[in-house]
Chain A
Amino acid sequence: REDIDQSDSSLYRGSLVTDSSFRERISIRVPPLYRGSLVTDSSFRERISIRVTPLLFGGSLRISCELVRGYRSEGSLRISGSLRISEDLCFIRMAGNAWRSMLSQVVGGAARPLTAAFSRRGMQTVTMIPGDGIGPEISNAVMKIFEAAKAPIQWEERNVTAIQGPGGRWMIPPDCKESMDQSKIGLKGPLKTPIAAGHPSMNLLLRKTFDLYANVRPCVSIEGYKTPYTDVNLVTIRENTEGEYSGIEHLIVEGVVQSIKLITEDASRRIAEYAFEYARNNQRSSVTAVHKANIMRMSDGLFLRKCREVAENYKDIKFTEMYLDTVCLNMVQDPTQFDVLVMPNLYGDILSDLCAGLIGGLGVTPSGNIGANGVAIFESVHGTAPDIAGLDMANPTALILSAVMMLRHMGLHDIGNNIQNACFDTIRDKKVLTKDLGGNSKCSEFTDDICRRIQDM
């Protein structure tokens, strides 16, 4: 079944077999307008027309898929390899995974009824937590951009400081909690963790208060920001509540410390379900569970078993499992082979930061925390940068991309795409970049450029 996509840069000859749920065959003929036919399951037949733009290298392959019932969707993929045309067949050399995921995006987008495009709500309230340091500046940037994009979002600003409730327990201020309970969606800037304050970190408090069990970090290479790794497009989903970070440590005898790693069935099942749901909702083709079950047999074995069980219910998504060391090894050599990664807490911490490093660091990485009861808090994961606070030098990219994640979570994909494209175009242009991206413009100039692009769209 998986005979072609074993080798990544396979020579694509026109027959693609993905998983058991659908089978495509595309035969492509010269010249310019390529027509193909797609046979999925017995219920419908689609026609795919493929048009290739004249540029042979770096050209784009436009695929439009029209279903019998009249739904259309289009996708386009930039070819980074070569396109050779000979008599009967068109050879497209590109990564098997990229092709598969793009195709499933196109077909999936067409097969889904277009209800998501209609915004059911009017103005949606979102709790905004500006944070410390550069937090207020970048939050203002995001609010300005949202205004320019005419997003139906109403902001409620709240501040988060630890207060001691009755019984001595540390908690977040009640007005913030109320606001979040009502709006269910939050956007958070960087919070500073004072070292000897006696209270746990604010991030930990927020996590515990709203039971934020999944940390999602999509890592996509930014075109204008050069790193040694290009074409990274993966998502790390990390279990956020238990695992090695349960905080249970004991001093057994003098000189011997034990730390307990906790893995429970419920948490593992919950995170696996979220991972597959995310993969399905975002048209991702495969989920990989990362583990070390050869050493930690029972704990990671339990995590793995739960992932396998949940995978049974999501047959349209390919499920694989891989050892942590193999993932690390392959990630630094070829990150394009990974799609969605799901893992327990510690591995997730390390791997998500590794992936952030691949695309350029924490200053450009978005992140979202999903909790039970539909609560979601999106945040930027970099620090508060107190040395540049208030100087209009901050880079708001991370918070902007997190806000885009938030829009997608709420179903406002168009606005999200607009903002994301504007942001990427600004970075690609390289004219108004902030200092950490290699330019010397101000944060407000960067923001204004993005606003201008959105208004021009």
Chain B
Amino acid sequence: MAAPSAVLSMSKIFNPFWGGRLGNTVKVFGTTLTSHRNRSSRNGDNIPPPAKYGGRHTVTLIPGDGIGPDLLNHVREVFRFSCVPVDFEVVHVNSADESEDDINNAIMAIRRNGVALKGNIETIHTMAPSVKSRNNLLRTNLDLYANVMHCQSLPAVQTRHKNIDIMIIRENTEGEYSSLEHESVSGVVECLKIITRTNSLRIADYAFKLAREKGRSRVTAVHKANIMKLGDGLFLQCCREVASGYPDITFDSMIVDNTTMQLVSKPQQFDVMVMPNLYGNVVSNVCAGLVGGPGLVPGANYGLNYAVFETATRNTGKSIAGKNIANPTAMLLAGCMMLDHLKLYDYATMIRNAILSTMNETRLHTADIGGQGTTSEVVQSIMRNIQSKGPLISER
């Protein structure tokens, strides 16, 4: 495609000395460009590649609260054990702090590195309403407009429904989460839900592209346009417009309350779902519950220039923090998604296979999916699995 060669030549123009050494990075970035969006290279748009110095990537790590720090430590342990060429830059964010310095530091670090892995930062809602949710600030400032979550039934996990395979794409920046609220009269609070055409088109485009890339046949838009005629009506219209450009993919729409009802009775009918922010919250949590719980599903937030990986249901898990019973699967799989994003496919597959064989063959489960294992036991088992598969033949 024209894009990689265009960027390659741009890099030679801008960095004549490092043209050769940057070559790899640009190739990495070039294919990232094509896989995530078809964009003609804009002139003068200096998009930084993900940080890779001396063959090692640097990734921002935000521990967060609750079970986040523990699980991320386990991720680091597994990566170190597998000799993954990734260095983590740890940035702490204090959720009790009213000033926004911490989160701004984190945002700056992510801008620098391009990729991040994070735990959930707690929002103490007894603080003043001007102290906004830190996770939300991160998503809006970095414009991570697409939240992607893939729910798949795992064979070894006991659930009420089998054979679920749903991809959920949720608009991540606007909708009900715009945090625009005011009290016009005492006792009456108004909260604004904003839907824009550009963002709706963007997310619909992302959804259809992803569906095509993964070979999916059907995209369902979830909305409530019978009540919110202008807002969700606009979202639905944008989805229909984008759908007309993808004749090979079936498009239909469903009202959100009917969707939840269908999800608990016949979830196998859904393929790819795209929706605005709040319905995305509900539907993604329902689907995560259907496949076995919050400890199993990883999630990713993609923007134009940045990508942040975390667990799909974004739980802080305060009640189980420090007890060594949390399920590390979601965070480890999020780490693997991150490795895929960095093009370290071999490492990603190796770790993913180890996780899945621990879950399906060894059947070592944590308490949330009905087993007796502790977090550290599961992680040890995963590392043993990695070791038994032999040394990785690395690319260099």
Residues of chain A within 8 A of B289, CB atoms compared: 328-333
Nearest-neighbour CB distance to chain B for A356, whole angstroms, equals 6
* 1/0 contact string of B240-260 vs chain A (CB within 8 Å): 000000000000000011101
**A324 with B294, Cβ < 8 A, contacts A255-B198, A329-B288, A353-B258 known:** no
Residues of chain B within 8 A of A176, CB atoms compared: none
Check B261 against A361 for contact (C-beta < 8 Å): yes
Check B129 against A259 for contact (C-beta < 8 Å): no
**A296 with B282, Cβ < 8 A, contacts A329-B293, A353-B261 known:** no
Alpha-carbon gap, A392 to B294, bound state (A): 45
Residues of chain B within 8 A of A55, CB atoms compared: none
* 1/0 contact string of A27-68 vs chain B (CB within 8 Å): 000000000000000000000000000000000000000000
Check B256 against A260 for contact (C-beta < 8 Å): no
Check B231 against A249 for contact (C-beta < 8 Å): yes
Check A357 against B194 for contact (C-beta < 8 Å): no
**A298 with B262, Cβ < 8 A, contacts A255-B196, A266-B187, A329-B288 known:** no
Alpha-carbon gap, A354 to B284, bound state (A): 13
Alpha-carbon gap, A295 to B140, bound state (A): 13
Alpha-carbon gap, A257 to B225, bound state (A): 13
Check B257 against A259 for contact (C-beta < 8 Å): no
Alpha-carbon gap, A302 to B289, bound state (A): 29
Interface members, chain B 100-141 (any A CB < 8 Å): 123, 125, 129, 132-133, 136
Nearest-neighbour CB distance to chain A for B136, whole angstroms, equals 6
Check A329 against B261 for contact (C-beta < 8 Å): no
* 1/0 contact string of B193-209 vs chain A (CB within 8 Å): 11111100000000000
**A295 with B190, Cβ < 8 A, contacts A255-B196, A330-B289 known:** no
Check B290 against A332 for contact (C-beta < 8 Å): yes
Check A263 against B189 for contact (C-beta < 8 Å): yes
B173 interfacial by beta-carbon distance below 8 Å: no
Alpha-carbon gap, A295 to B277, bound state (A): 11
**A264 with B188, Cβ < 8 A, contacts A244-B228, A258-B194 known:** yes
B37 interfacial by beta-carbon distance below 8 Å: no
**A328 with B282, Cβ < 8 A, contacts A257-B231, A260-B192, A357-B262 known:** yes
B265 interfacial by beta-carbon distance below 8 Å: yes
Residues of chain B within 8 A of A346, CB atoms compared: 224, 278
Check A264 against B258 for contact (C-beta < 8 Å): no
A301 interfacial by beta-carbon distance below 8 Å: yes
Nearest-neighbour CB distance to chain A for B361, whole angstroms, equals 24
Residues of chain A within 8 A of B197, CB atoms compared: 254-256
**A229 with B230, Cβ < 8 A, contacts A255-B197, A263-B191, A302-B189 known:** no
A197 interfacial by beta-carbon distance below 8 Å: no
Of B136, B189, B196, B227, the contact of A256 (CB 8 Å cutoff): B196
Check A295 against B230 for contact (C-beta < 8 Å): no
Check A297 against B129 for contact (C-beta < 8 Å): yes
Alpha-carbon gap, A158 to B132, bound state (A): 51
B313 interfacial by beta-carbon distance below 8 Å: yes
Among A292, A297, A304, A346, the one with the most B-chain Cβ atoms within 10 Å of its Cβ is A297
Residues of chain B within 8 A of A331, CB atoms compared: 286, 289
How many A residues touch the partner, as a band? 35 or more
- Quick one: closest A residue to B231, CB to CB? A259
Check A350 against B196 for contact (C-beta < 8 Å): no
Interface members, chain B 123-172 (any A CB < 8 Å): 123, 125, 129, 132-133, 136, 160-161
Residues of chain B within 8 A of A333, CB atoms compared: 289, 293
Residues of chain B within 8 A of A350, CB atoms compared: 256-257, 260, 279, 282
Of A247, A256, A292, A297, the contact of B181 (CB 8 Å cutoff): A297
Check A329 against B294 for contact (C-beta < 8 Å): yes
Check A294 against B125 for contact (C-beta < 8 Å): yes
Residues of chain A within 8 A of B288, CB atoms compared: 329
Check A249 against B228 for contact (C-beta < 8 Å): yes
Among B160, B197, B264, B313, the one with the most A-chain Cβ atoms within 10 Å of its Cβ is B264
Residues of chain B within 8 A of A255, CB atoms compared: 196-198, 234
Alpha-carbon gap, A251 to B224, bound state (A): 17
- Quick one: closest B residue to A365, CB to CB? B261
Residues of chain B within 8 A of A292, CB atoms compared: 278, 281
**A257 with B181, Cβ < 8 A, contacts A264-B188, A328-B285, A353-B257 known:** no
| Residues of chain B at interface, number, CB under 8 A | 57
Nearest-neighbour CB distance to chain A for B356, whole angstroms, equals 21
Check B286 against A328 for contact (C-beta < 8 Å): yes
Check A295 against B136 for contact (C-beta < 8 Å): yes
* 1/0 contact string of A329-341 vs chain B (CB within 8 Å): 1111100000000
B270 interfacial by beta-carbon distance below 8 Å: no
A156 interfacial by beta-carbon distance below 8 Å: no
Of B136, B234, B260, B313, the contact of A353 (CB 8 Å cutoff): B260
Alpha-carbon gap, A325 to B290, bound state (A): 13
Check B125 against A324 for contact (C-beta < 8 Å): no
Of B193, B234, B264, the contact of A229 (CB 8 Å cutoff): B264
Of A227, A265, A325, the contact of B188 (CB 8 Å cutoff): A265
B12 interfacial by beta-carbon distance below 8 Å: no
Check B193 against A295 for contact (C-beta < 8 Å): no
Interface members, chain A 244-299 (any B CB < 8 Å): 244-245, 247, 249-251, 254-266, 292-299
Check B230 against A262 for contact (C-beta < 8 Å): no
B229 interfacial by beta-carbon distance below 8 Å: yes
Check B183 against A329 for contact (C-beta < 8 Å): no
Alpha-carbon gap, A249 to B234, bound state (A): 12
Check A301 against B129 for contact (C-beta < 8 Å): yes
Check B230 against A257 for contact (C-beta < 8 Å): yes
Check B190 against A261 for contact (C-beta < 8 Å): yes
Residues of chain A within 8 A of B313, CB atoms compared: 325, 329
Of A257, A264, A325, A356, the contact of B196 (CB 8 Å cutoff): A257
Residues of chain B within 8 A of A227, CB atoms compared: 265
Alpha-carbon gap, A247 to B230, bound state (A): 10
A228 interfacial by beta-carbon distance below 8 Å: yes
* 1/0 contact string of B320-356 vs chain A (CB within 8 Å): 0000000000000000000000000000000000000
B32 interfacial by beta-carbon distance below 8 Å: no
Residues of chain A within 8 A of B123, CB atoms compared: 294-295
- Quick one: closest B residue to A193, CB to CB? B226
A448 interfacial by beta-carbon distance below 8 Å: no
- Quick one: closest A residue to B187, CB to CB? A265
23 contacts between A and B (CB under 8 A): A256-B195, A257-B230, A257-B231, A257-B234, A259-B228, A261-B192, A262-B191, A264-B189, A295-B133, A295-B177, A296-B191, A297-B125, A297-B129, A297-B132, A301-B129, A325-B314, A329-B294, A330-B289, A331-B289, A349-B224, A354-B260, A357-B265, A358-B264
Q: Which 7 interchain pairs have the tightest Cβ spacing?
A: A255-B197, A357-B261, A332-B289, A353-B257, A265-B187, A297-B129, A228-B160
Hey, which bits of chain B sit against chain A, CB under 8 A? 123, 125, 129, 132-133, 136, 160-161, 176-177, 179, 181-183, 187-198, 224, 227-231, 234, 256-258, 260-265, 278-279, 281-282, 284-286, 288-290, 293-294, 313-315
Q: A265-B187, A295-B133, A330-B289 are in contact. List 12 more A-B contacts (CB 8 A).
A: A249-B230, A255-B196, A256-B194, A256-B196, A258-B195, A261-B190, A295-B176, A297-B179, A301-B129, A325-B282, A332-B290, A346-B278
